[in-house]
Amino acid sequence: MNMLEVFVSSLEEFQPDLVVISGLHMMEGQSKEFQKKRLLEVVTSISDIPTGVPVHLELASMTNRELMSSIVHQQVFPAVASLGLNEQELLFLSQSASGPHSSLSSWNGVPDVGVVSDILFWILKEHGRSESRASDLTRIHFHTLAYHILATVDGHWANQLAAVAAGARVAGTQACATETIDTRRVSLRAPREFTTSRSEAGSRVVLNPSEPVVEWHRDGVSFHFTPVLVCQDPVRTVGLGDAISAEGLFYSEAHPQH
Q: Residue 155 and residue 238: Cα distance in Å, rounded?
A: 34
Confidence band (pLDDT; 50, 70, 90) for 48?
confident
How far is the C-alpha of 190 from the C-alpha of 159, rounded, in Å?
23
Q: What percent of the chain has pLDDT over 90?
A: 57
Q: How confident is the model at residue 13 (pLDDT cuts 50, 70, 90)?
A: low
Nearest one of 202, 65, 73, 196 to 126, comparing CA atoms: 73
Average pLDDT over residues 61-70: 89
User: The whole model's pTM is what?
Assistant: 0.91
pLDDT tens digits, one per residue of 129-160:
888 788 899 999 999 999 999 999 999 999 99
Q: Is 155 left (phi over 0), alpha (psi -120 to 50) or beta?
A: left
Average pLDDT, the chain: 89
Residues 6+ apart with CB under 8 A from 71: 24, 39, 77
pLDDT higher than 90, residue 118? yes
Say if residue 3's pLDDT is above 60.
no
In SS3 terms, the chain reads as: CCCCCCCCCCHHHCCCCCEEECCHHHHCCCCHHHHHHHHHHHHHHHHCCCCCCCEEEECCCCCCHHHHHHHHHCCHHHHCCEEEECHHHHHHHHHHCCCCCCCCCCCCCCCCHHHHHHHHHHHHHHHCCECCECCCCCEEEEECCCEEEEEEECCCEECHHHHHHHHHHHHHHHHHCCCCCCCCCEEECCCCEEECCCCCCCCEEECECCECCEEEEECCEEEEEEECEEECCCCCCCCHHHHHHHHHHHHCEECCCC
Tell me the catalytic residues. 242
Residues 117-128, mean pLDDT to the nearest whole number:
96
